[in-house]
Amino acid sequence: MTTLITNIKELLQIRDASVNKVSGKEMKHLPSLKNAFLVIENDVITDFGEMKDLPNTKADKQINAKGKMVLPSWCDSHTHIVYAGNREQEFVDRINGLSYEEIANRGGGILNSAKTLQNTSEDELYKQSIIRVKEVMKLGTGALEIKSGYGLTTEAELKMLRVAKRIEKNFPLLVKTTFLGAHALPSEFKNKKNEYLDLVINDMLPKVAKENLADYIDVFCEKGYFSLEDTERILKAGKQYNLIPKIHVNQFNAFGGVALGVKHNALSVDHLEELNTADITSLKGSNTIPVALPSCSYFLSIPYTPARQLIDAGLPLALATDYNPGSTPSGNMNFVVSTACIKMKMTPEEAINAATINGAYAMGLSNECGSITKGKKANLIITKEVPSYGFLPYAFGNNHIDSVILAGKVIS
Ligand SMILES: N=CN[C@@H](CCC(=O)O)C(=O)O
Ligand SMILES: [Zn+2]
């Protein structure tokens, strides 16, 4: 099956296959072609160029993108999209003055979601989760990292990851899965943190690995959750099963989580709302990419990750949603890109780079998606008629997507 897209006003994010991420000043550039065509064979991009060089291709399907932009679909490298129920009541509690921390200390927060999920069947969890998956696909997401961490028992953690694997199998998205058994300390283990870590390491982890349920390992490294020592124990245990770290650090406190991630060759360190000079220094020269989650900052009214400091220090930066019921009940990457420009002073070029090629890197998918490159998956966004690509983050909150192509097929 050959699909030909013609008359593209501007084809964005054209990259050579050798580019796996962009850093520092390079993030200001978004290579593009004006008045372009693109050819898809089955699910892969096979050719593109300027309309004047359009080959005599026999296409089964032709799409006229006159006045429209085409760009790679969003790569959302940090989500908790598999969850049960919601935490709308906590949202109202916060409006009425309670803090995120106070709610968690009362047994709300992650433990609240875990209780709901433990009492939800695998089929029901799948049913609830795919509503969100279908919604984010329509919003232009073509690659999704999915974490466990709302199970907190062996059975429930495995249930979450099996649901994530079913999503991978049944949808045209690229999916990577992450085991986050150390997301919060269940109340049964109060004052017995080491016993819970033993359970994560000696029971959950071997079972996750045996069923091949995870690509990455994550820990919520934060005061009141898991310390540097706890995090290191988990990362070392994950290494025995070839699970690469992708960790939650510096959401509320900066105390060395970034350097620890770098030391353990983390693929990414995520959140970073609190960041100090030592954190930036430790990232320099490493293969670890920082990931910012602006929708979380927006929803919780906490600081935004200092994107300018990171990029101006020559580092790469990725953007993701953090879609979850507590701190970010939204999986809209378009909103993330706009918010990064508006609140984090990223340029449209930087934000689009961060949400595509760098997002793909942050989930180990740079060979498969994140740019318009021959041989990469045909996961694309076709915008409505817009004056320029900068209009996408500028006219925030509006839907600029005309259609989404995933694995070579128009899905909406
Ligand atoms: N910070 C840790 N985990 C999630 C949210 C947890 C929750 O409130 O459910 C996050 O990334 O924000
Ligand atoms: Zn998260």
Which residue among 76, 110, 148, 297 is best mutated to probe the pocket of ligand 1, counting the most ligand atoms within 8 A of its Cβ?
Answer: 110
The enclosing domain of 248 has a CATH number of: 3.20.20.140
275 Cα–ligand 1 center, Å:
18
Cβ atoms of residues 318 and 290 within 8 Å? yes
Same domain, 68 and 87: no
Mean pLDDT value of segment 24-40: 98
For 255-282, write each residue's pLDDT tens digit: 999 999 999 999 999 999 999 999 999 9
Cβ atoms of residues 386 and 342 within 8 Å? no
Same domain, 156 and 287: yes
Same domain, 282 and 375: no
For 46-60, write each residue's pLDDT tens digit: 999 999 999 988 999
225 Cα–ligand 1 center, Å:
11
222 Cα–ligand 1 center, Å:
11
Domain that holds residue 47: 2-72+371-410
Same domain, 344 and 375: no
According to the annotation, is 80 in a ligand binding site? yes
Mean pLDDT value of segment 134-156: 98
CA of 83, nearest ligand number: 1
Nearest to 311 by CA among 293, 284, 282, 343: 284
Cβ atoms of residues 73 and 406 within 8 Å? yes
Same domain, 375 and 278: no
ipTM score: 0.97
The whole-number pLDDT of residue 127 equals 98
Same domain, 96 and 12: no
Mean pLDDT value of segment 240-265: 98
The number of the ligand 1 atom at minimal distance from the alpha carbon of 271 is 11
Say if residue 412's pLDDT is above 90. no
Percentage of the chain exceeding pLDDT 90:
98
The whole-number pLDDT of residue 85 equals 98
Packed helices 122-138 and 154-170: angle between N→C axes, nearest 10 degrees: 40
CA of 223, nearest ligand number: 1
Which residue among 87, 88, 145, 220 is best mutated to probe the pocket of ligand 1, counting the most ligand atoms within 8 A of its Cβ?
Answer: 220
For 370-383, write each residue's pLDDT tens digit: 999 999 999 999 99
Ramachandran quadrant class, 99 (left: phi over 0; alpha: psi -120 to 50; beta: rest): beta
Same domain, 263 and 332: yes
The number of the ligand 1 atom at minimal distance from the alpha carbon of 251 is 1
Same domain, 190 and 41: no
Packed helices 333-344 and 348-355: angle between N→C axes, nearest 10 degrees: 140
Mean pLDDT of the chain: 97
For 78-115, write each residue's pLDDT tens digit: 999 999 999 999 999 999 999 999 999 888 999 999 99
The number of the ligand 1 atom at minimal distance from the alpha carbon of 325 is 9
Nearest CA to ligand 1 atom 12: 327
The whole-number pLDDT of residue 318 equals 99
Mean pLDDT value of segment 36-50: 98
CA of 182, nearest ligand number: 1
Domains held by the chain: number: 2
Which residue among 324, 328, 330 is best mutated to probe the pocket of ligand 1, counting the most ligand atoms within 8 A of its Cβ?
Answer: 324
In angstroms, how far is the first alpha carbon of the chain from the final one?
Answer: 18
Say if residue 177's pLDDT is above 90. yes
Same domain, 239 and 159: yes
The whole-number pLDDT of residue 296 equals 98
Nearest CA to ligand 1 atom 11: 322
Cβ atoms of residues 125 and 114 within 8 Å? no
According to the annotation, is 29 in a ligand binding site? no
37 Cα–ligand 2 center, Å:
38
The number of the ligand 1 atom at minimal distance from the alpha carbon of 83 is 9
- Ligand 1 binding site (Cβ under 6 Å of any ligand atom): 80, 109-110, 113, 220, 248, 251, 296, 322, 324-327
Which residue among 327, 330, 336 is best mutated to probe the pocket of ligand 1, counting the most ligand atoms within 8 A of its Cβ?
Answer: 327
Mean pLDDT value of segment 382-392: 98
The number of the ligand 1 atom at minimal distance from the alpha carbon of 222 is 1
327 Cα–ligand 1 center, Å:
6
State the residue for tokens 């029901």: 124
312 Cα–ligand 1 center, Å:
28
Same domain, 82 and 68: no
The enclosing domain of 393 has a CATH number of: 2.30.40.10
User: Using CA atoms, how far apart are residues 272 and 289, in angstroms rounded to an integer?
Assistant: 11
According to the annotation, is 150 in a ligand binding site? yes
3 Cα–ligand 2 center, Å:
37
For 303-350, write each residue's pLDDT tens digit: 999 999 999 999 999 999 999 999 999 999 999 999 999 999 999 999
Same domain, 65 and 93: no
109 Cα–ligand 1 center, Å:
8
Same domain, 340 and 268: yes
Cβ atoms of residues 120 and 171 within 8 Å? no
